């Protein structure tokens, strides 16, 4: 190599790896933050709802981080498959009814998930800035 040669090295893989790891960690923390607040909302704020009595719906809220190619998401909610021990209704369906109200209008909405995100908006931003 002569004196007029410049060598440019790319550390893209290493940098992308560190960024991905930090973003995944932030999304995990966001998921847990929103999950905790959502469960609390079901337990405390929905006192009028008949579904909060056993605590099963609140304890069924989970969070998981999913990576799909370049996309990292925190998914928070109630998974399918569990049946409410008293009503024998799917717990995820009860969670939907709490959030949105029942389709027949007999039970009004008692939002728990959307307020969990909104009340933590600044915390979520701060975690992503990390």
Q: Which tokens hold the place of 121?
A: 């908006």
Domain annotation covers residue 2: no
**Domain tally, the chain:** 1
Domain annotation covers residue 92: yes
**Three-state secondary structure along the chain?**
CCCCCCCCCCCHHHHHHHHHHHHHHHHHHHHHHHHHHHHHHHHHHCCCCHHHCCCHHHHCCEEEEEEECCEEEEEEECCCCCECCCCCCEHHHHHHHHHHCCCCCCCCCCCCHHHHHHCCHHHHHHHHHC
What is the average pLDDT across 1-15?
Answer: 80
Domain annotation covers residue 13: no
The pLDDT value recorded for residue 18 is 84
The per-residue pLDDT for range 36-85, each reduced to its tens digit, is: 999 999 987 656 666 667 788 999 999 999 999 889 999 999 999 999 88
Q: Which residues pair with 68 in a beta bridge?
A: 71
The pLDDT value recorded for residue 15 is 84
Domain annotation covers residue 60: yes
The per-residue pLDDT for range 16-41, each reduced to its tens digit, is: 888 888 999 999 999 999 999 999 99
Domain annotation covers residue 68: yes
User: Which is nearest to 42 in space by CA: 30, 32, 51, 29?
Assistant: 51
Domain annotation covers residue 47: yes
């Amino acid at each position: 190599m002569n004196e007029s040669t410049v060598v440019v090295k790319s550390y893209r893989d290493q940098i992308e790896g560190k960024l991905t790891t930090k973003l995944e960690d932030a999304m995990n923390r966001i998921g847990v933050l929103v999950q905790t607040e959502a469960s609390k909302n079901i337990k405390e704020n929905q006192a009028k709802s008949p579904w909060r009595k056993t605590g099963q719906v609140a304890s069924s809220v989970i969070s998981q981080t999913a990576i799909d190619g370049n996309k990292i998401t925190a998914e928070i909610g109630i998974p399918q498959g569990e049946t409410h021990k008293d009503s024998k209704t799917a717990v995820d369906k009860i969670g939907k009814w709490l959030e949105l109200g029942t389709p027949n209008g007999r039970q009004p909405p008692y939002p728990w998930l959307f307020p969990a995100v909104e009340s933590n908006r600044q915390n979520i931003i701060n975690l992503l800035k990390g």
